[in-house]
Amino acid sequence: MEFSLFLGCTVPNVYPGIEAATRLTMERLGVELLDMDGASCCPAPGAFGSVDRSLWYALGARNLTIAEALEADIMTVCSGCFGTLFEVNHRLKEDPAARERVNGVLAEVGREYRGEREVRHYVDVLYRDIGVDELARAATRPLEGLKVAVHYGCHLLKPSRGRSIDSPERPRMLEELIRATGAETVEYRDQLLCCGGGGGVRGNNPEEAIFIAARKLEEVRRADADLLVNPCSFCTLHYDFSQREMPGGSPEVPIMHYAQFLALAMDMRPEQVGLQYHSVSLAEVLEKVG
């Protein structure tokens, strides 16, 4: 099994530990990841897709042509990147006129979108291709005793048209992936609410973005969770950074991408997957798992 690894912007620029965790866990599970040399921003679904759809199509399709040249489906570790690349791929396959217009643009840089590849998310590959039972066997350091709050975010499951990952109203995939590591999951109010940072909100209205994140994290605290685990590099950034920007002295909630969480369960060292560089300390979590 092999995939074209699409890193996007946040991972290489802010959280290279997520990339390390993705590569290490997939290697351990027998999945080969191919580098997408020359890949650009996806581009972001809210910032581009809602403002200039033609540009969104063209830039997204250019990234898709890199995977086509590698002859391997794309795998992302960011839900926003997944949302863009999945939607662009889906719409261009369905709309011949849009596809022709995009290829007219791509021809200027010597590329052609052919619609030959699919777009997958890291956690979806783990859940559907690897399987929960195999992950449980690979978890050689079970994370028993940890109480984990799960954040799905917006772009992994929505819009649901054309996707068959999980129910957007009652998803259970992440809970099953968490429990495969030996950890416990806890439910909390507004669990399916947006992190608050996407769609350009963090950049254009940071106070509102921080307010939404603070509201969710307060519910995570009330649920007595040890940390929040999510599948998106940008949600990780917003939750992690926002806690340094919030007024007051509320207890902080450690944040982890699922790839990093799984890496710990596979007995990889925290420093291998960049946990020491998170804004909110993970020291108490790491002490608890030993």
List, in sequence order, the alpha helices (H) in 155-232.
Answer: 173-179, 201-204, 206-222
What confidence score (pLDDT) does residue 203 get? 67
Model confidence at 119: pLDDT above 70: yes
For the cut 80, the answer to whether the pLDDT of residue 198 exceeds it is: no
Residues spanned by CATH 3.40.50.11810 within the chain? 132-289
Q: Does the pLDDT value for residue 249 go beyond 90?
A: no
Average pLDDT score over residue span 45-56: 79
pTM: 0.95
The predicted-structure confidence for 151-174, as pLDDT tens digits, reads as follows 999 889 888 777 778 888 899 999
Taking CA atoms, 12 is separated from 19, 76, 126, 133, in Å, by 7, 13, 22, 31
The helix-helix angle for 233-245 and 79-94 (nearest 10°) equals: 140
Mean pLDDT over 44-68 rounds to: 88
What is the domain class of 132-289 according to CATH? Answer: alpha beta
Give the DSSP H or E segment for 66: helix 53-70
pLDDT digit string, tens, across residues 142-152: 999 999 999 99
How confident is residue 70, by pLDDT bands cut at 50, 70 and 90? very high
Q: Which CATH architecture has domain 2-121?
A: Up-down Bundle (1.20)
Residue ranges, comma separated, of all CATH 1.20.1050.140 domains in the chain are 2-121
pLDDT of residue 250: 65
